[in-house]
Structure 1
Amino acid sequence: MRFLFMMASGIMLGFFVGVSFPSMRITTVSGPSNVYPLITDTCNETSCKTSLNCKCITDKSQEEKKSASNLDQTSQDIPFKQKYLVAFTVGHAQRLNIDTVVKKFSSNFTILLFHYDGITTEWNEFEWSKQAIHVSVPKQTKWWYAKRFLHPDIVASYDYIFLWDEDLGVEHFDAEEYIKLVRKHGLEISQPAVEPNVHILWEMTRRRSDQEVHRLTEEKPGWCEDPKLPPCGAFVEIQAPVFSKKAWRCVWHLIQNDLVHGWGLDFALWKCIERAAEKMGVVDAQWIVHQRLPSLGNQGEAMDGRAPWQGVRERCDYEWKLFRGRLESAEKAYLKSKGAALPNSSRT
């Protein structure tokens, strides 16, 4: 019952607030031959051509004639099925770091780059980039892209979805070994531990050298009302999360169309998982380093003597408050629809 409540709350929040997408201009969508046909469709009988989904009306006999050749072409283009997806939100300035990171992911991974600076073809200096999927919409964020391009039905063929920032060090990380540990410990939502070479905001993410995985931690006094709920348990940061496809189907509904930075989302992810304190965790045996490289925060505009990143930070704080309010409203609406008592109130 609790799981159904949590799932419904997440879906209601996404439905009531996220039903309308703002208009956008997609400057580039490109990918390898074995993936691009899946996200772009062109119909000869009409002028319909669009990204991700295209429904065209064509002559039935024409479709029947094309079916055999299409199947043959597909068998040639896709030698094997890639099991996992890793998506990075990137700027060209960090291409060398992304090159290092991508090499930690095997051929079992589809590589997807979301370009926030509009630079795409220059990435072809790397051989792997020619087989990656590139989506370019200037000055957007990881969660903005995820909401619009990673619908659960689109990524349903992948067992796990990695949504990573561009400024991570991966000297001690191997993606295949990470997947093995996630499966071994039954984690639906996870992240690699963070080596504390700099200040760490949340203790949950701090690497522990004496174990493979940890699920609980102790935080500053007063930070955790429940020791099994965020940020002491059932918690990962939005910096480098990894989702099972089952978890992603719920998480996608939590992402708000207009709250593009995702702040507060990490405190709500547990609502998508039954027994979240058991099925969410941090993988210590495969860890990363937060390098704090200049990234999207510098894409803002300096105003009134303030640095660009300060405006971005203020927007993040504002979005967190909005998200928290929307989540509370969605939960209350769900409880009311079921005739259940509202939080901090009694039934009359």
Structure 2
Amino acid sequence: MRQSKTMASVPQRVFSGVQPTGNLHLGNYLGAIKRFVELQDRFGCIYCVVDLHAITVWQDPAELRRSIREVAAAFLAAGVDGEKHIVFNQSQVSGHAELAWIFNCVARLGWLNRMTQFKEKAGKDRENASVGLYAYPNLMAADILLYRATHVPVGEDQKQHLELARDIAQKFNNDFAASIAANGLDEKFFPLPEPLIAGPATRVMSLRDGSKKMSKSEPSDASRINLTDDADQIASKIRKAKTDPLPLPETVEGLKDRPEADNLVGIYAALADSDAAAVLAQYGGAQFSAFKQALVDLTVDKLAPINAEMKRLVADPGHIDRVLGHGAERADAIAETTMAAVKDIVGLIRRA
């Protein structure tokens, strides 16, 4: 029997994802995973291990499977509730790829040509980049809009992609306005998702170069604090983190043009659920050696329980796979409803 064409109004729903490309680090935790936990009390949340995004560049299959489970373990270890909310990996829900193709036909080439992240990731040899890497933003739009998400926690570097998702949603709603109305659906079928950008460390920088983002792909492991690092490794990396010769400033304005100081203060503030002004009120005027020791103590205190729980979860891959499978079933139920309506709107014939 065919599904009803009427759909309930869109609830306040968050969607976000993390790529399983290895070396989860402090930037992933502060910029994404910690915030996932904080949003659970305000929204219905869907958190995805975006493995289809990961394969826009070649991945070793065995390592990819390990990384998918590690990201899921990080979600759970940090406090994401996989029963109350939805945790799954993207490739288990076919609607992501299906809707992405439809959005490939809605989005304009000029829009994608303006995406700065493709230019950064492809580098000078763009002719050898995969089509998937180029069309990555359309898949990201599909990830969000498949669940008709209203809010997306994003870092500054992803704001452009979210703007594209909003443009695609708007163009779809406009292009198919008559069909949406004929199917008895809200004229704003796809909501225009709002960014959630907050906190003192939305963009965590390298410990070796305050002008570069902390990255999984950075050759030097000393540039990042991995979520799998033990206390000694964390302490060593923070103590060796690049700084300048001046003491910490006493005001936030004093952090200007001091990227390494600004980064370490931002990390402390984010871990302490505070802000830069409060951190400088306590440590301003001090030498970096004293501040770094305080940062070591705080970082170990916050990350050690997550590290231990991640190790426990990763040691039981069957449990993680069951969590992902259960989440995929729940995600798929929402996705199927959206895709049924999209196919009717576009004019495709669904299986009876």
TM-score range, shorter chain: under 0.3
More strand by share: 1
TM-score, L = length of structure 1: 0.26
- TM-score relative to the length of structure 2: 0.25
Greater helix percent: which structure? 2
